[in-house]
Amino acid sequence: MHTLICGSMAYDTIMVFNDHFKNHILPEKIHILNVAFLVPDMRREFGGCAGNIAYNLQMIGGNPLIMATVGDDHQPYASRLSGLALAQTHVRHIDATFTAQAFITTDLADNQITAFHPGAMNFSHENHVSDAKNVSLGIIAPDGRDGMVQHAQEFHEAGIPFVFDPGQGLPMFNGEELLDFIGKADYVAVNDYEGQLLHERTGYPLESLAKLVKGLIVTKGSEGSIIYADSQQIVIPSVKPERLIDPTGCGDAYRAGLLYGLTNEMDWQSTGQLASLMGALKIAQRGGQNHSFSRDEIDQRYFEVFGNRIL
C-alpha cells in the first residue's frame, strides 16, 4: 500500500549576499526602491513539500507516491526521481508553465528576501486522488489552493485517512475553510506559528480542534513538538543534531517520520520520536534533499537516542 503525498514540487535557487541588506536599503527612500545585490554564491536545490516528504519517507522504508504538477523545466527533477526510484505516475506536466520555484537571497545576518513563483502548482487540481491505486494514507501539503480543497474532498469521499498539513499555504484559507479541512482530515500537522494562526482564524484553541481529529501535531523547532491525541498532550523532545546547518525542509522530514509511524501503527510517542529524529538528521545538511541515510543507520541512531528500535 502507498502513502499518497499531495503537494508541491519546486526548485529552490539560493543566493548569498556577502553584506547586510540594511546597508543598501535606505528607509527614507523605500518609496523609490531600486537596489541590486551581487551574489557570488548560488546553488539550486530540489525541493517542494511533496518532493521532500517523499524523499524522506522512502529513506525510512515507506512507500511514497507523489501527486504533484510540474512545468516545462521539470526534466532535471524527473531525472532525479528516476534515480531515486520514486514513481512519477502522478507527477503531471503542465504545458507552457514553469515548475514552482523560490528565489532566496540571504545576507550575512541571515535575513532573507524571497520571490516565489507557483507556476504549475496552480494547476494541482488537475490531479485526482481517485487516479491513485492502493493508497492507505495521504497527506495534503502546501500546494495550489484549488488542489488542496479538491484533494481533501476526494480523500474524504474515498474514505482514505489523511494528514492536513497547510504549512505556508494556511493564510490562503479563512476560518470556515480551515474548519472544513479539519472536519475531513484524520490528522493535522502545523508548526507553532501556524498553530497560532489556526487558532486565530478558526476561533478555537488547539485543544478544542484536536478533539475533531485523531491527532493534532504542533512542531516547535528546538523545543520539540506536542501531539494532541487520545485526550493527552504527548511531549516529544527534540533530538540534538550533529550540527546546525540549514532548517530548510526540516518540517517535511518530520512529516515523513509521522507518516511512517501512522502507516505502521506505531504508538504516538514512538511516532513523534521518529519524526523528531528525521528533522534532526536533515538540519545537518543544506537543502531539503541532501542528507542521505540507510534505514539501518536511522534505526541505529534512533536506538542511540531513545533506547529501542523502530518497528
Q: How many CA atoms lie within 13 A of 157 on its CB side?
A: 9
Compute the mean pLDDT over every residue in the chain, rounded to the nearest whole number: 95
Residue 109: the pLDDT is: 86
Percentage of the residues of the chain whose pLDDT score is greater than 90? 89
Query: What is the maximum span of the chain, computed from C-alpha positions, in angstroms?
Result: 60
Sheet holding 10-16, edge to edge: 41-47, 10-16, 100-106, 112-117
Which pLDDT tens digit goes with each residue over 256-269? 999 999 999 999 99
Which pLDDT tens digit goes with each residue over 214-259? 999 999 999 999 999 999 999 999 999 999 888 889 999 999 999 9
Q: Residue with C-alpha cell 508548526?
A: 191
Residue 29: the pLDDT is: 77
Q: What is the pTM of this model?
A: 0.95
Instruction: Quickly state the pLDDT bin for 196 (edges 50, 70, 90).
Output: very high
- Among residues 279, 281, 248, the alpha carbon closest in space to that of 12 is found at 248
Residue 259: the pLDDT is: 98
Residue 9: the pLDDT is: 97
Percentage of the residues of the chain whose pLDDT score is greater than 70? 100
